[in-house]
Amino acid sequence: DAKTTQPTSMDCAEGRAANLPCNHSTISGNEYVYWYRQIHSQGPQYIIHGLKNNETNEMASLIITEDRKSSTLILPHATLRDTAVYYCIVRVRLASNAGNNRKLIWGLGTSLAVNP
């Protein structure tokens, strides 16, 4: 299963863009990249996912390199409420008897601190 590598921690000033990098050099062609975040002790929250094209939604943008070996999550205007641990995850397929189900391979994430 492909694994991801992320910086342990990052800082960002409130109102500025937060760019969180992720390395997934062993990713295979059919594996998606997902981003989640976890605020304090809450359950993880889905942010965005992609396969090979850049993606944008109301929360963030995801930039995936052409060789798919790395990606960057961009929070365009970080706020204090964006302080959290951000996980870059590769989604792999579960056993065939689970149909189209997938499992997520979790790493330790990046602890992002947004400062006033």
Q: How far is the CB of 35 from other proteins (least distance, A)?
A: 10
User: Considering the rule CB under 8 A, would residue 13 count as an interface residue with other proteins?
Assistant: no
What SS3 string covers 54-72? CEECCCCEEEECCCCCEEE
State the number of CA atoms in the 13 A half-sphere of 16 facing the CB. 12
Q: How far is the CB of 93 from other proteins (least distance, A)?
A: 10
User: Considering the rule CB under 8 A, would residue 57 count as an interface residue with other proteins?
Assistant: no
Question: What is the C-alpha R_g of the chain?
Answer: 14
- For 80, phi and psi rounded to 5 degrees? -60, -30
Q: How far is the CB of 116 from other proteins (least distance, A)?
A: 28
Q: Which of 12, 34, 64, 71 binds other proteins (CB under 8 A)?
A: 34
Q: Which of 60, 62, 103 is nearest to 84 (CA)?
A: 60
User: Considering the rule CB under 8 A, would residue 86 count as an interface residue with other proteins?
Assistant: no
Residues at the contact surface with other proteins, assessed by CB under 8 A: 34, 41-46, 49, 87, 94-95, 97-109
